[in-house]
Each structure stands twice: as structure tokens, then as C-alpha cells.
Chains A and B, each alone.
Chain A
């Protein structure tokens, strides 16, 4: 009879589980994680490099909404999170740090319109909140 596994069995009876109770506690996410984008419209110079480098073509340069057209007359990135692979190339190529990836990973949604992020000046506050 082979009993090599028995000591491990006894050890496991008195050890903590490997998992955490997720909604109540979670594993901290390190800095530099590639999560949801934070976009700063004021820093953006509308160069369009993020749209060109995006491997999945998730970024499209669009005009600002009608009521903001006076302040923001150029084109700005519209981001489709459904296409995004979170590679972070847009963050790396942006020379003005207008686009960067945050640690937010809670992106699942029941509403498909949430998946597309239109350029709005308030986007930054929402992400940090």
C-alpha cells in the first residue's frame, strides 16, 4: 500500500484554502496593470497615433459631441472595449500621456452601449471614482 499522499492530506486539513472569498476580499492588483482606459481630453492633441497603432482597430477618431464642439474642435478617440485586447500600445505611443491604462478590471456589463467609450472631458473622474 502506498501512503505517500497521506501526510499531505493531513496537512491540507489544517491549512488555509488557496482561494479568497472574492466579493469580501480580493487579491491586490499591482501597479502597471493593463485595465480600463482613462482618457484626458484636455491633454489630447488629436494626433491619431493611438488609432493607428491599435492592433485590433478598437480606436476610431471621431468628432466631439455637438455641445462641446466649440471647446474641442478636432477629432478624438472613440474606444470600443469589446474589441480592445488591453495591450497598452496606445498608452506607450501617446506622447502627451492623454491615454493611460488603469487598474480597473470590473468591466463586465449587461448593457452593450457601456462597452463603447465616447470622448468626454469627464471620463477621468469616473474611472478614478
Chain B
């Protein structure tokens, strides 16, 4: 692999002589390290080259699928926050939609709009974290601090609307949402969106260091991306135009006007740019939804007051959504009791962090490992579940 962005004073990895025999060593990237989050990758290194990579999942396993079998839908809504620390509201929505479909509940119109607004705000803050950790991984620490500073504006908003900064505690629950917007929430959201525009401008500033470390690194071709099961920003960064919000619209996405950003390069830089483009689209969606926000109830009468026992009819349902990291889905089977008989959660990161990551890391330089790792928009919590 040759790289155009780097000057000629560097020896390209393909031009280097292979290291003498017996110089291979194991390198543990993670799990207890600020670099990779709570996830480990076992690398076999030869000189500067990664000979092979083996993902080592399980460090953050909490067993959600089993826990959900002992809880009622409203309790599971609270539990579904924890599926992904960085985007709890998106996972709330997937779970709530699965229960709604299983129980055939008519969600009030206002609730649908609020759900979309909150999910998109959650997507924006998740992409900001993505930018932050990607900057940190490529040695741009200011970007990390900037990202977490600007993310706090959205967290303030969540605090006002849901009552919690990071975890909304099942704000998007079966039947609608748990609370209506408080007074002045609309103006505050618009103010925060202006701040997000500011953040996007900062993200778009030229950064030669990031260009050098991200361009041409970790190229994933469309064919390989599909074969390895990539979805969301990773697949769009490789050049396939796909988005569940467009392909199979849920909630009110079919009424909204937004675009799906696609890039053909398939490298870490393309994925990073997809993140920025998606933030712009999310801001557009929130503004549209706020304009059209109707009046009325925010939760179906059946769930107005939480009940200790809710009877779910027998059946099974598969619901998929576009969460910030890709395609998130819930397969729920009910045997007619209050609790689901089985809940299978399909997270996007399981495939991004095991097959895709192993494929991309093989044959790269050791210095590119963090850049590739964080360019996949990963979340160890979502992968281990």
C-alpha cells in the first residue's frame, strides 16, 4: 500500500525489507486503556507492520438480551438506554418501536415528532463524540476538548427535556414519550442548533495533521464492506447509498426532506467527512420537525401511567432503525406474558468491530491502528451488549 499524502522522506511500508525471523511480537491494544475504550484488539506486530489482528470482545458484556426477558416493556425501555452509552435515545426508539408494533399501539402524532427530534439530537452528539475521539486518536487533542465542550450544550438540552444528562431513562418509551417538552424547549433547541453549526465550522477547518493521518488509511471497498456486514456511515463512506431512514422510513422520516451523504474513497477520512455531513442533515431534520410540531398528547392512553403488568400479545416482530453507528435492530418474541420471551439485539458495531476491524488492520502500520479503529465510529458498549 502506498500513500500519496506523505512525503518521500518516509519509507513506504511496502518498500521496507521484511523484519528478520523471530521478531514478531504480540501487542495488546486495550481493553483497559483510554485509547481503544473498553475493547481489546490483539495485534501481531512485525517491525512496524501489523501482521494480523484479532478482536477480543467480552470486556463490557452485561447480558442485556437475558436481562430483558425478566422485565416488562416499560422497565426494558429504561434498560435500553444502556445499550449504547453514546446514543441512548436512538436505542430507546428502536426498543419502543418494537413494543409498539408488537402491541399495535397508535403513537400520537406529537410523540412521533418529539421522538425524531430527540433521536436526531442524540445522533448529533454521538457524531460529535466520534469527531472528538477520532481527533484524539490522530493526535489532535484540542479537537477532543472542543467536541466534549460542544456536546455539553446538547446534554443541557437533554437535562431540561428528559431529566437526565446522559441517560434519558427510557424517555422514548412504548406508546410515545414520557414527558412533553417543557416551556421554552423549542427556543433552546434552536439556540443549541446554532452552536452545532459553529461546531461543524470548527470541524471543517483545515487540519494538515489529520489529513496526513487519515487520507488513504484503512481503505474499505464497497464489495468488502457488504461482505463483512458494514452498515451506516462506514458503508456510506465506502460509496453505497443506503440509509434505513430512506429505504424503510419509520416514524415521520418519509415526510422530511434530507439527503444521504455518500463518499466513494472508503478511507478513514471519507468516513470522518460522512460524520460531518450527517450532522448537517440532522440539524436540517430537527429544524423541519420543530416547525411542523403539532399539538396534542405525547403518549398513548394505554401507557399514560406506568403499569406493573402489561400483557403483550403473542407474536414476534423485527424492527430496524438507523442509529448513529449504522443499522440497529430489535427482534422481539412474545409468548403472551408481560415480559418478552426473547429479545435479540442487532447492533451495528458487532460487525464493525470484529470482521471489519480485523480486515482493515491487517497489513497496516502500527501508527495507523488508532486512526482506523476510531474512524469506524465504534462503541464498545453496543458491541458487547
Contacts and interface: CB of A to CB of B under 8 A. Distances in A.
B207 A5 contact: yes
Given A32-B179, A32-B182, A93-B305, A53 B74 contact: yes
B308 A32 contact: no
A87 B170 contact: yes
26 contacts: A2-B206, A2-B208, A5-B207, A18-B149, A19-B149, A27-B156, A29-B159, A32-B163, A33-B163, A34-B164, A49-B308, A53-B74, A53-B306, A53-B308, A55-B78, A55-B79, A85-B167, A86-B167, A86-B169, A87-B78, A88-B163, A89-B75, A89-B169, A92-B178, A92-B305, A92-B306
Contacts of A93: 305-308
Given A18-B152, A92-B306, A5 B206 contact: yes
Interface of A is mostly: loop
Interface residues of B, number: 28
Interface of B is mostly: loop
Nearest to B205: A4
Contacts of A55: 71, 75-76, 78-79
Interface residues of A, number: 25
Contacts of A52: 308
List the 3 closest pairs (A to B, CB-CB), nearest first.
A87-B169, A55-B75, A18-B149
Contacts of A33: 159, 163-164
Given A5-B206, A18-B149, 12 more contacts: A4-B205, A4-B206, A30-B159, A31-B182, A33-B163, A34-B163, A55-B71, A85-B167, A87-B169, A89-B75, A89-B306, A101-B163
Contacts of A49: 308
Contact of A8 (B78, B169, B178, B202): B202
Interface of A: 2, 4-5, 8, 18-19, 27, 29-34, 49, 52-53, 55, 85-89, 92-93, 101
A66 to B, nearest CB: 30
Nearest to B150: A18
Contact of B205 (A5, A27, A88, A92): A5
A96 to B, nearest CB: 13
Nearest to B207: A5
B293 interface: no
B207 A85 contact: no
Contact of B160 (A8, A30, A88): A30
Nearest to A89: B306
A86 B160 CA distance: 15
A101 B182 CA distance: 17
A59 to B, nearest CB: 13
Contacts of B74: 53, 89
Contacts of B205: 4-5, 8
A26 B261 CA distance: 40
Nearest to B211: A2
Contacts of A29: 159
A34 B169 contact: yes
Nearest to B79: A55
Nearest to A35: B163
A3 B150 CA distance: 23
Contacts of A31: 182
A18 B149 CA distance: 7
B182 A30 contact: yes
A89 B208 CA distance: 50
B260 to A, nearest CB: 28
B17 to A, nearest CB: 35
